[in-house]
Amino acid sequence: MNQDVPQEITSLVGREVYSNNGVFVGQVEDLRLDLDNETVTGLALTELNGSLFDARVDEARGVIVPYRWVRAVGDVILINDVIERLKDGDEEEAVA
């Protein structure tokens, strides 16, 4: 398994996700996996921060954040600034 991925991937479910600027993004509900390569490719988020996603996502759907955006995993998960990423054109990949 990729060294950047926590050994116990199920431990990611339920963790809160924040941007590297400290803005709450959402909570991990599920993971997107690449079983052939044994890697996590995305985090499925719910309980989204409405101010970040209201205009982009139906609240019932959530978003999938590419795992390459993850900067750190600890008690919470830190990702690159979502707003900047969405403005840079990765919106179609981020919105599930």
| Residue with the two structure tokens 């959530």 | 62
Task: With H, G, I as helix, E, B as strand and everything else as coil, classify residue 31.
Answer: strand
Per-residue pLDDT tens, the chain, 96 aa: give them.
Answer: 445 554 577 788 999 999 988 889 999 999 998 889 888 899 999 888 877 777 666 656 788 889 999 999 989 999 988 665 565 555 444 544
**Superfamily assignment of 9-94 in CATH?**
PRC-barrel domain (2.30.30.240)
> Domain limits of the chain?
9-94
How many helices (DSSP H) and strands (DSSP E) are in the chain? 3, 6
72, β-bridge pairs: 78
pLDDT at 21: 87
Q: How many residues does the chain have?
A: 96
Dist CA 78 CA 69 (whole Å) = 9
Asked if 19 and 79 count as a contact pair (C-beta separation under 8 A), the reply is yes
The pTM of the full predicted model, rounded to 2 decimals, is 0.73
